[in-house]
Structure 1
Amino acid sequence: MFEQTFKNIDDVLWKEAGCATELDYTEQTSWILFLKYLDDLERANEQKAELEGKTYQPIIDAKHRWSVWAAPKKKDGSFDHDKAKTGDDLIAYVDDKLFPYLKGFRSRAEGANTIEYKIGEIFSEIENKFRSGYSLRDALELVDQLSFRSQQEKHELSHLYEAKLRNMGNAGRNGGEYYTPRPLIRAMIQVVKPAIGERIYDGACGSAGFLCEALEYLTHERGKLSTKDLKTLQEKTFFGKEKKSLAYVIGIMNMILHGIEAPNIIHTNTLAENIGDIQNKDRFDVVLANPPFGGKERPEVQQNFPIKTGETAFLFLQHFIKSLKAGGRAAIVIKNTFLSNTDNASVALRKELLENCNLYTVLDMPSGTFLGAGVKTVVLFFEKGAPTRKLWFYKLDPGRNLGKTNPLNDEDLKDFVALQAKLKDSENSWTVDVKAIDKATYDLAVKNPNKVDDAELRDPKDIIAEMVALDVESAEILKDIGRML
């Protein structure tokens, strides 16, 4: 029903000089969608209050309501072009009055978990990139055709928004870091099996794909939900943190479209927190994440972690282990070289996983899973609090090269999910006894004993990156020795 409208919005953005990439398209669509959602939410709350004989205090001031500046209507419901701002007047209003007003909600809000705070946070982090008030007017009129009134409408909009995120990921450049293939997320969730009442966390949530898919899983697994269950899902189940402004905005919008009215996503640098300060009350039952890899964190950030390393993903892995409750479960995507790298941090982290967690499954993903990323990954499934005794590996082989025109699908992961439920060995899966693992290196490299030629050549870039990391580590050790002499 709304698909053509979304295409028309993209056509408008394509012609807009201030929007050059799929990232820009998604960002600009997001803030307009968010304001239309707010207007529909306000209308629904007003009607509910009226039926209950109560007075409703609107969130947005009357002069800044969608129906005043974005889509004024005549008495017969038709669009009032005489009252609608356009051209330079519209850009001036949005940049000089609307955005500053919306930014102010962050300081006026009662708490970070309120919709008011989310409004302030979102409009403090993004800017209006429309340069033509006529293009913006076209976009506003198109978005006004969308409705967030019913669950069915929200459901359709969430699918269209997910398609937009997928396109953003496929576009390359930085888009891929915000998008994890949904079939992989769904398989991870099916293995971890979150339940209503458990707290689910992603400390690098990007577009909130893990949290949204977990919501879908919990909603469909339980069928008809009680009022108490729905309240629990709304307020006490999904928690996320995100460092980047655009990803934060997209994640908030994605969760709203999936039915969470005030998402518990915090805009912060997760790694800036000292993991020694994490208390039991801060911990979670389930962690689902695909943390960024390849980044290099500054020395002051590394001081927040017992295992010092500049590799962003390794710091996140420590954070996630610390953030789990005893008995909590996690499924984490990480570069496959983590399993065999010989640098001190990799070895220490594998030791930590094997000795203090039950690392029960490793899923080895094929090249091309993450479009545009150019790296091979594995998924680590583990429980906190008991040592690993046996480790079950599964090497995914979809029987074709993955790519933009041939992406990963749910059928590709069906065999993995079925065999994993019983930890059953097969042509593509095998079990390793921890006693057989070298205690000097804790090497967990994926080597399928069922196939003679399974050994893969490492990417030269990975080898060079490891050599550089070792050189840096050696230089730091020599520097420390120099200080002591």
Structure 2
Amino acid sequence: MSIETLIKRIQNIMRQDAGVDGDAQRISQLVWMLFLKVYDAKEEFWEFEEDSFESIIPEECRWRNWAIDNKDGEALTGDKLLNFVNNTLFPALKELPVDAYTEKRKAIVKSVFEDANNYMKNGTLLRQVINILNEVDFTEYEDRHAFNDIYENILKDLQSAGSSGEFYTPRPLSEFLVEMVQPKVGEKIADFACGTGGFLISALGYMDDQIKTPEEKEIVQQNLFGIEKKPLPYLLAITNMILHDIDSPNILHDNSLAKNVRDYKEDDKYDVIIMNPPYGGIEEESIKINFPVALQSSETADLFMALILYRLKKDGRVAVVLPNNFLFGDDNSKVAIKRKLLEECNLHTIVRLPKGVFEPYTDIPTNLLFFDKTGFTTDIWYFEHPLPEGYKKYSKTKPLLIEEFSLEKDWWNKREENKNAWKVTVEEIVERNYDLDIKNPNSTEANSEMKSSDVIIKEIKSSYSKVFEAIQRLQEEIDNE
């Protein structure tokens, strides 16, 4: 049976339950159960490897002791299962004894359940869902790798779940960004709005060939860092990291913007930052005051850009996804952030993406900004990512594919102007009051627009001449009277 079929079976069961309202709740319901099952599989491995290992989860609350149906008529179901989940399991996990000395791999159980909820009200349907999940054995190599497919299906559903889709970044996009910044073993790598952990997992995959020893693997795991504000993507990120053998994920459930940027020290800075910050959000005054007055924007994406500038190490590298309004925005804070970016960093590349990359959540055109802290910006290369032939825009049924970035990859080290690439000096950007929204001068569409503008100007001049001539004739008539 395919993973997609398994997920559909679960969702069809959940739709029959009166307590689950909409895709977002169905996903949330599925994810906390998936986490407990995955965590139980990891505990089996830890128990095998470590004679002294003890679970932080009370025995009766471990997945193996309440969720497995041995077909002997003893498995919890109906009201008994519902009572156990609501009145024993959730209270126990939310109140686990955790302090500064608790191992991170154990402490995460409490942190992921702090905001989790059981929405299902029918214990019989809940049992059916659990039994389907138990068809996947995460202690087996093949099934563990099948989690990637489960995960992709969950993400696609998240993408369709209205506002919940804001933390979904297509995998081809995350892999391209990571490949361009080339993270290395020993470097500290961060995503300050990590969502479900896609960029960090892509970075881990990119460095896989570099890792030669268990010690290097441990270094890489310790150097991956993420923060996620919302509970559902945070839970998904933790689960995702554990399935990729990161036993103690450095993922915080927090708001990256909640700390004063002036307080960051050198130890708080990173070699590589890869992000798709949330945009369109409005931040309250208590968040804005964590930034210098000139940089205090209400727009979430602007503040994340400012944050990056404070948390990037010298010689560090950044790849970030931003909407068009960051490029052309001319309010004081946006201009100040862009000025700071160009004066303190080398913004060497902007890849302009067409509409639909983030469909169906939004069709707002986005841009990929690449910069490093090696000095100020002298000029910026632009690359316009073309749509495949026959496409008017990307969509859910016609998504962006990783193969399409071969154009950018082939061009990246050569840096020659062509129909997709052009260069702009920083002086021109400054003259434009830091407007970075520069259209492709080499495209047919752009040239067509420019020709149209020329025609319009000629028409205006012609009209002006005719009006001027009419005024002169009228003046002459008046003078002759």
Q: TM-score normalized by structure 1?
A: 0.87
Q: Which residue of 2 aligns with 1:474?
A: none
Which residue pairs with 1:349 in the alignment? 337
Cα 1:23–1:280 shift into 2, 3 Å:
same
CA drift at 1:440: 6.2
Give, in whole Å, the separation in 1 of the partners of 2:53 and 2:224. Answer: 28
1:416 and 2:408 aligned: yes
Aligned to 1:153: 143
Asked if 1 retains the 8 angstrom alpha-carbon contact of 2:23 and 2:161, the reply is no
Contact 2:183 2:203 (C-alpha < 8 Å) held by counterparts: yes
Number of residue-to-residue matches in the alignment = 442
8 Å contact from structure 2 (residues 273, 317) kept in 1: yes
**Residue 414 of structure 1 aligns to which amino acid in structure 2?**
S
1:113 and 1:324 map into 2 onto residues whose CA distance is: 28
Q: What does residue 307 of structure 2 align with?
A: 319
Deviations 1:259-297 (A, max 9, x none): 322211111111111111111001111111111111111
Amino acid aligned to 1:38: Y
Are the counterparts in 2 of residues 365 and 395 from structure 1 also a CA contact under 8 Å? Answer: yes
Counterparts in 2 of 1:137 and 1:293: CA distance versus 1, 3 Å: same
Whole-Å separation in 1 of the counterparts to 2:88 and 2:179: 47
Matched, 1:209 2:198: yes
Q: 1:145 to 1:263 in 2, by over 3 A?
A: same
Partner of 1:460: none
Contact 2:258 2:287 in 1 (8 A): yes
Of the three residues 369, 373, 393, the one matched with 2:382 is 393
1:20 partner amino acid: D
Letter of the 2:412 partner, please give it. Q
The equivalent residue for 1:337 is 325
Residue of 423, 427, 432 corresponding to 1:435: 427
1:369 lines up with 2:330 in the alignment: no
1:42 is the counterpart of 2:30? no
Alignment of 1:7-86 (within 5 A): 7-49=8-50, 54-71=51-68, 73=70, 79-81=71-73, 83-86=74-77
The letter of the residue matching 1:139 is: V
Unaligned residue ranges in structure 1 (runs of 5+): 74-78, 458-485
Residue 81 (structure 2) pairs with residue 90 (structure 1)? yes
Structure of larger gyration radius: 2
For the residues of structure 1 that align with 2:403 and 2:448, how far apart are their CA atoms? Answer: 25
Q: Equivalences for 1:85-484 in 2 at 5 Å?
A: 85-105=76-96, 107-110=97-100, 114-169=104-159, 171-219=160-208, 221-222=209-210, 225-234=212-221, 236-306=222-292, 307-371=295-359, 372-399=361-388, 400=391, 401-439=393-431, 441-451=433-443, 453-454=445-446
Measured on the aligned residues, the alpha-carbon RMSD in Å equals 2.0
TM-score (norm 2): 0.87
What's the CA shift string for 1:291-345, capped at 9, x where partnerless?
Answer: 1111111112111112111011000111111111111111111111211221111
Deviation at 1:427, TM superposition (A): 0.7
Q: Kindly tell me: are residues 393 and 22 of structure 1, through their superposed partners in 2, closer, same or farther at Cα, counting changes over 3 Å?
A: same
Distance in 1, Cα, partners of 2:121 & 2:25:
13
The separation in 2 between residues aligned to 1:426 and 1:150, in whole angstroms, is 50
Alignment check: 8 A CA contact 2:189 2:223 kept: yes
Q: Secondary structure at the match of 1:438?
A: helix
Write the distance in 1 (CA, Å) between the matches of 2:142 and 2:310. Answer: 39
Shift of 1:55: 3.7
- Amino acid of the residue matched to residue 25 of structure 2? D
Aligned equivalents of 1:225, 1:194: Cα separation in 2: 15
1:406 Cα deviation from its structure 2 partner: 0.5
Alpha carbons of structure 1 residues 351 and 10: separation in structure 2 relative to 1, 3 Å? same
SS in 2 for 1:174: helix
**CA pair 111-333 structure 1, distance change in 2 beyond 3 A:** farther
Describe the SS at the equivalent of 2:362: coil
Paired with 1:96 and 1:273, the residues of 2 have a C-alpha distance of 36
Residue 437 to residue 111, structure 1, CA distance change in 2 (3 Å) = same
TM-aligned CA deviation for residue 172 of structure 1: 4.5
Q: Distance in 1 between matches of 2:178 and 2:385?
A: 17
Counterpart-to-counterpart distance in 1, 2:187 and 2:224: 9
Question: How far apart are the structure 1 equivalents of 2:75 and 2:230?
Answer: 34
Q: Distance in 2 between matches of 1:207 and 1:111?
A: 27
Correspondence for 1:473: none
Q: In 2, Cα distance between the equivalents of 1:154 and 1:145?
A: 12
Deviation at 1:439, TM superposition (A): 4.1
Q: Does the 8 Å CA contact 2:347/2:380 hold for their aligned counterparts? A: yes
Whether the aligned pair in 1 keeps the contact of 2:24 and 2:161 (CA below 8 Å) is no
Q: For residue 114 of structure 2, give the secondary structure of its aligned residue in structure 1.
A: helix
User: Is the partner of 1:125 in helix, strand or coil?
Assistant: coil
Distance 1:406 1:456, change over 3 A: farther
